[in-house]
Amino acid sequence: MSSTTGTLFKVTTFGESHGKGVGAVIDGCPPRIYLSESDVQIQLDRRRPGQSDLTTDRNEEDRVRILSGVENGQTLGTPIALLVDNRDHQPIDYKNTSDIPRPSHADYTYKIKYGINAASGGGRASARETVARVAAGAIAEKFLLETYGISIVAWVSAVGNVIAPEMGGDVSRSQVEISSTRCPEPETAEQIKVQIRQAREESDSVGGIITCICKNMPVGLGEPVFDKTEARLAQAMLSIPAAKGFEVGSGFAGAAMRGSTHNDLFIKKGNYLGTHTNFSGGIQGGITNGEPILFKVAFKPPATINKQQNTVDYNGRNVILKAKGRHDPCVVPRAVPIVESMTALVLADMALCQMVKR
Amino acid sequence: MSSTTGTLFKVTTFGESHGKGVGAVIDGCPPRIYLSESDVQIQLDRRRPGQSDLTTDRNEEDRVRILSGVENGQTLGTPIALLVDNRDHQPIDYKNTSDIPRPSHADYTYKIKYGINAASGGGRASARETVARVAAGAIAEKFLLETYGISIVAWVSAVGNVIAPEMGGDVSRSQVEISSTRCPEPETAEQIKVQIRQAREESDSVGGIITCICKNMPVGLGEPVFDKTEARLAQAMLSIPAAKGFEVGSGFAGAAMRGSTHNDLFIKKGNYLGTHTNFSGGIQGGITNGEPILFKVAFKPPATINKQQNTVDYNGRNVILKAKGRHDPCVVPRAVPIVESMTALVLADMALCQMVKR
Amino acid sequence: MSSTTGTLFKVTTFGESHGKGVGAVIDGCPPRIYLSESDVQIQLDRRRPGQSDLTTDRNEEDRVRILSGVENGQTLGTPIALLVDNRDHQPIDYKNTSDIPRPSHADYTYKIKYGINAASGGGRASARETVARVAAGAIAEKFLLETYGISIVAWVSAVGNVIAPEMGGDVSRSQVEISSTRCPEPETAEQIKVQIRQAREESDSVGGIITCICKNMPVGLGEPVFDKTEARLAQAMLSIPAAKGFEVGSGFAGAAMRGSTHNDLFIKKGNYLGTHTNFSGGIQGGITNGEPILFKVAFKPPATINKQQNTVDYNGRNVILKAKGRHDPCVVPRAVPIVESMTALVLADMALCQMVKR
Amino acid sequence: MSSTTGTLFKVTTFGESHGKGVGAVIDGCPPRIYLSESDVQIQLDRRRPGQSDLTTDRNEEDRVRILSGVENGQTLGTPIALLVDNRDHQPIDYKNTSDIPRPSHADYTYKIKYGINAASGGGRASARETVARVAAGAIAEKFLLETYGISIVAWVSAVGNVIAPEMGGDVSRSQVEISSTRCPEPETAEQIKVQIRQAREESDSVGGIITCICKNMPVGLGEPVFDKTEARLAQAMLSIPAAKGFEVGSGFAGAAMRGSTHNDLFIKKGNYLGTHTNFSGGIQGGITNGEPILFKVAFKPPATINKQQNTVDYNGRNVILKAKGRHDPCVVPRAVPIVESMTALVLADMALCQMVKR
């Protein structure tokens, strides 16, 4: 099940960071959705490293090719295969890497589970795998927009100890793109830049938080019990490399609230009911209620740093690990399109699985 | 997919809170595990309301019956069906409930999705559905303990604005049971009691946080990419009614940390490698690394309160909603065995799906 | 996966022939379908042994109870749990059965796979498990009839070396019920009775063939490639105990035909296209074409016979096995509602999974 | 679900016959299996048209590339992506094809289901899709052979009204390759050649039957109830284009047999029990019993013929359809590696899903 997700809108990704390329197959995308390679490319370009002074200056040119499932600019209803070739990478240079499991990387667990080394299959734990997710997610987004008018916008709301003020739901993707930090609040964006530069100068890395909102949600998506909307989103978000937390609506802060404050009182909104507040995050009983879906994802600092680390090799012998070369001190801005893509994959699958209305 | 979860250790729950009973079928439990109804009953008793002065004084006697899959005290490898009859409930008395969707309940979304009323199918959104999960989870726990020695312990670590100090990993289930709050830290437990009593006196409700630890984990469980251990756990936790957040290891706090602090440096531990710190929460690259799995779940305050609420009916007309009768001001202590059970279901499925070692 | 089938219309069966009862949970049945216990009971009564002089004279009174998912005579969209208690059975009396694997039974394979004896878990291989399938199938039939007007009729078309003439598509379920043989062609029915009586008198058993037709099929159900309509039906039919073969449309006879004869030429039928002939069996490219679905299922003779058999025990020692008591010389008439039920389960799932039309 | 199959050994195929290429992703293949492109190429070469005077003289050079999941000649445990480019095809030339659904092709059903034309998405119903299955199956075969020693051999046992004598289980793949008919019985092979040549000369086509045997099967593979070994195989076989029937062991002939003849009496075979006869086809209660698995698949004659056909266009107007160009009068010999591949996919998935032995 590892690299496949979804019940009817099913996505499988493939490719190691050190291999020929990475890609995805989307099995179950409905027919006659307008789709071109540029629809996918635009999100890939947002994910790619080397876009600004803030990130590593590798400039991966990730060109996507659609191998199947699309003809004359429209989906056919058949599996859509996407392929992005790997270019020459400059992997960070560790001395004797093959003997030393990198701390907080997947080297050790892959070695034990698969009996293989980090330089090969462990490449699935690399951020490069997310290229395929972003490509697939771009197609899901197109389906959701064309069919329901759903729009998904994510942005950086914290880096290190800098936290942006609550932005409400009016953030657009173009606002997010103004700053290379992907924080749409200008003052916070400047502070975030400082955080990231500091971390880089200290050969260190720093984490952050992404907020995501889904607007124009239909009422009634999602399933009760095990496949609640928030449960599906939580799985999707925690499957992103470096993600450590997820909260929807009031989230952890809701644990400290009283019910009389937290309850979202109903009001009439056109032909439907809406709610005054949205502590529920757009979901009640696991099912979308028409209000925007609102959630946050916490990311730990990248494990790859240039500082010296006292650790052990596979044989348990003490070693000092010191990486050379460039490192990416903060991946949170680049994770924005990944969060959007995983959200789109979940919502597209939920939409197709929705119980037949009678 | 709504009421079924798992790939090889597959669990389906059934039953409305107002119907004849609730139950579960576990399809895929391995054969020859020692199992009796009392193994299940013990966890059901922990979940049941009315256990203390802190909760509602309904005293549901939830007696489980095993209908299939077990003979002579051992599992057969065939589906295990569990049934718990519903007794006469005293549902909270709302005037004209059928015309008014209760705020932050699933009434409205069920009505739109299924075209049915809260008093019937909406019963799946009731906490009563979790009886079946706890029953199924008790069996998964037995399998994990017998096969791997894995133990799972959850406890209340916050209620309202009272937060327990970090407990480390040495909490046992019997320590948790000392206080009806299920907080093993005595001083915090007393403060939590105050919080809950206050909420009740004010006809209000209050949320909280549960911490969970899984010990004696084998290395190598879980799958990379979409079915990472933390992703599966996140889905399981967010599928619990009232859950609003999940974090593993460093969680949201990790977003503010530096990589040089967050990285879990390896040390030799017997024949395996362990780590000094455990900010990863026992998982690296989605795969268990042998350290304890550590996570937290945030719960919002219960939506059922006795305070007056200004809301609208299904037709959008302003109404004042006022519930009478008993209400449960804090469900977090009762959610402890639910968290344990959902954890066990995830780990059992991951264990069975584990890729063949060669 | 053993006891669970379906993607969105998901059915799980449980219960051993020697345990407390057998049952099923249907997870995914749409809401607001009219359903009562008598809708299910009518098919259970058709499946039950002891209905005529032709079969064994055990008279199992299989009373179904609906435990959840239905209120006021309508489905709720929530899981429907069904339970049928086991009565006192008179299992066939084998001497030393526990030491001897019965030839062509599942005793040996269950013993090796699960490490358990035939008298317990092996009960899943018993025909009694099909009670649960028939109960679940009755609900699927109701959904298909109410939603699409689809009707499913199966009948006995061969027993031993007696083969009924081709019946076309006009057979109704009431015609099938006229004879206890469930062969609607009166002359053949008489010959079949002779076959079955002979087999019984000789302490032997005999196999047969069931033909099934699905009428009022919509165009466009089923998926290409791996989940073709005929592929799903084939799996469903071969999952019935004692089934050894499946053919759709022209079937094995089609292997000897020429394309110029086999091709189903199109004709105009109202607003749709139909075909002159139906060698395709109502399916083209895996997708229903609106013509009736037509298929056959072959059943081997029951393995339980009263004749002496020279075989070996689990230790490989030669033994003579001789069963006493009643045996059922031909299960094909009773398998008719099982074939109908499994067909309904497949079509209901296909209908719910059908790709969104745009 | 359309283009994805398997629970743990999961295969997704993609690609239209008229697009850039066809391929597959295998998600779940265990690590450290020796694998090179030539392991896959050998089966692809067997599937390809134009291998002999018997088939169409198109000579597709299907070169497979492994894009991921393999390094240094060994699988990594990560998804294996395979790609085969499409070369310039000479599709059969129909006049006005776009207006006329070809009889017994998938044109009409795809048009209704997806709203697209045969020339595009309908390409999934083309035999070209099976290239991807054969490629994936070659990898499954490698896994089964290395891990269990399982060998799978299929051959042509009938074409038109020529039927080969029963061959027993000693047929090897090299024997099958002696004749371009893939019938290992020399005399029958000659008669089959005559059948196929006749059909071609008459601008017609002819069907046939493939027999398949799986040797060195372990005891205990397969699941009871819905996922019986024979049920999984039946689905896999009926998912092959043009397949109309499946039978295992005694099959349809078993329907005419008596139980006393059909029962497979046990004998001691080394440390295990075996059976004298094998009417069960190596499976009892859905679980492999260690005897060879034996089954047959019936294929209808290809729908593409050069004879004139009186049919209607999409508007229901009478037309005469006459194809020009080469056609393939009999696809059964080329279907041999497809049958083997689908068998391997089923067995590999069953092997990985096998319940944990305790």
Query: Is C90 an 8 Å CB contact of chain D?
Result: no
Q: What is the C-alpha to C-alpha distance for residues C149 and C215, in angstroms, rounded to an integer?
A: 8
The pLDDT, as a whole number, for residue D53 is: 58
More confident residue, D343 or A120: D343
The pLDDT, as a whole number, for residue C358 is: 40
The pLDDT, as a whole number, for residue D119 is: 67
The pLDDT, as a whole number, for residue D89 is: 52
Tokens representing D295?
């089954």
pLDDT per residue as tens digits for the range C174-208: 999 999 999 999 999 999 999 999 999 999 999 99
Q: What is the C-alpha to C-alpha distance for residues C98 and C107, in angstroms, rounded to an integer?
A: 9
pLDDT per residue as tens digits for the range B138-163: 999 999 999 999 999 999 999 999 99
Q: Which residues pair with D158 in a beta bridge?
A: D163, D209
Contact B287 A110 (CB under 8 A): yes
User: Which residue intervals of A82-210 are DSSP H helices?
Assistant: 107-114, 130-148, 173-177, 186-201
Contact A28 C358 (CB under 8 A): no
The answer to whether the CB of A185 falls within 8 A of the CB of A163 is no
The pLDDT, as a whole number, for residue B47 is: 85
Chains that touch A (3 or more CB pairs under 8 A): B, C, D
Contact D225 C3 (CB under 8 A): yes
pLDDT per residue as tens digits for the range D9-40: 999 999 998 889 999 999 999 999 999 999 99
For C106-119, b/e burial (b = at least 16 CB within 10 A) is bbbbbbbbbbbbbe
Q: Which residues of C touch A348 (CB under 8 A)?
A: none
Predicted confidence (pLDDT) at residue D90 exceeds the cutoff of 50: no
Mean pLDDT lowest among A290-299, C50-59, C217-226: C50-59
pLDDT per residue as tens digits for the range D256-307: 999 999 999 999 998 889 999 999 999 999 999 999 999 999 999 999 999 9
Q: Which residues of A touch D349 (CB under 8 A)?
A: none
Chains that touch C (3 or more CB pairs under 8 A): A, B, D
Mean pLDDT lowest among A346-355, B321-330, C180-189, C249-258: B321-330
Predicted confidence (pLDDT) at residue C89 exceeds the cutoff of 60: no
Query: Is C32 an 8 Å CB contact of chain A?
Result: yes
pLDDT per residue as tens digits for the range D223-252: 999 999 999 999 999 999 999 999 999 999
The pLDDT, as a whole number, for residue A126 is: 86
- In D, minimum Cα distance to C291 occurs at D109
> Closest by alpha carbon to D50, among D267, D331, D238?
D331
Query: Is C219 an 8 Å CB contact of chain A?
Result: no
The pLDDT, as a whole number, for residue C119 is: 66
Residue C287, CB-side half-sphere exposure with 13 Å CA sphere: 26
Q: What is the DSSP letter of D226?
A: G
* CA distance readout (Å), D2 to C136, D5, D350: 24, 8, 20
Backbone angles phi and psi of D34, in degrees to 5 = -70, 125
Q: Which residues of A touch B309 (CB under 8 A)?
A: 260, 263, 265
- Give ipTM to 2 decimals: 0.95
- In D, minimum Cα distance to A6 occurs at D1
pLDDT band for position B119 (50/70/90)? low
> Closest by alpha carbon to A127, among A325, A346, A347, A304?
A304
Tokens representing B325?
């009768």
More confident residue, B46 or C237: C237
Interface test with B, best of D4, D12, D26, D355 (most B CBs within 10 A): D355
The pLDDT, as a whole number, for residue C232 is: 98
pLDDT per residue as tens digits for the range C308-358: 999 999 999 999 998 776 788 999 999 999 999 999 999 999 999 885 544
Query: Is C19 an 8 Å CB contact of chain B?
Result: yes
Query: Is D10 an 8 Å CB contact of chain A?
Result: yes
The pLDDT, as a whole number, for residue A54 is: 59
Query: Is C109 an 8 Å CB contact of chain B?
Result: no
The pLDDT, as a whole number, for residue C120 is: 66
Q: What is the C-alpha to C-alpha distance for residues B200 and B195, in angstroms, rounded to an integer?
A: 9
Q: Which residues of D touch C129 (CB under 8 A)?
A: 225
CB pairs under 8 A between A and D: 147
Residue C31, CB-side half-sphere exposure with 13 Å CA sphere: 20
The pLDDT, as a whole number, for residue A358 is: 40
The answer to whether the CB of C180 falls within 8 A of the CB of D234 is no
The pLDDT, as a whole number, for residue B87 is: 80
The pLDDT, as a whole number, for residue C90 is: 47
The partner residue sitting opposite A121, judged by closest CB among D14, D15, D31, is D31
- In A, minimum Cα distance to B320 occurs at A265
The partner residue sitting opposite C355, judged by closest CB among A30, A224, A358, is A30
Contact A356 C33 (CB under 8 A): no
Contact A125 B286 (CB under 8 A): yes
The pLDDT, as a whole number, for residue D323 is: 78
Contact C255 D316 (CB under 8 A): no
* Contacting D residues, span 49-88, partner chain C, CB-CB under 8 Å: none
| DSSP labels, C175-228 | HHHTSTT--SSHHHHHHHHHHHHHHHHTT--B-EEEEEEEESPPBT-S-SGGG-
Tokens 């936290």, located at residue? A163
Ranges of chain A whose pLDDT falls below 50: 57, 90-95, 357-358
Contacts of C50 by beta carbon, 8 Å cutoff, 6+ apart? C56, C57, C58, C59, C60
How confident is the prediction for chain C on average, in pLDDT? 91
Q: Which residues of A touch D16 (CB under 8 A)?
A: 68-69, 71, 76, 78
A156: helix, coil or strand? Answer: strand
The C-alpha of C89 sits at a distance from chain A's nearest C-alpha, in angstroms, of 38
The answer to whether the CB of D144 falls within 8 A of the CB of D150 is yes
Tokens 């022209």, located at residue? C250
- What average pLDDT does the segment C69-85 reach? 95
Q: Which residues of C touch B13 (CB under 8 A)?
A: 79
Contact C32 A355 (CB under 8 A): no
The C-alpha of C68 sits at a distance from chain B's nearest C-alpha, in angstroms, of 5
Domains of chain B by start residue, with CATH: 4-353 (3.60.150.10)
The pLDDT, as a whole number, for residue C284 is: 96
Predicted confidence (pLDDT) at residue D132 exceeds the cutoff of 60: yes
Predicted confidence (pLDDT) at residue B96 exceeds the cutoff of 70: no
Contact A8 D16 (CB under 8 A): no
The pLDDT, as a whole number, for residue D50 is: 60
Predicted confidence (pLDDT) at residue C161 exceeds the cutoff of 50: yes
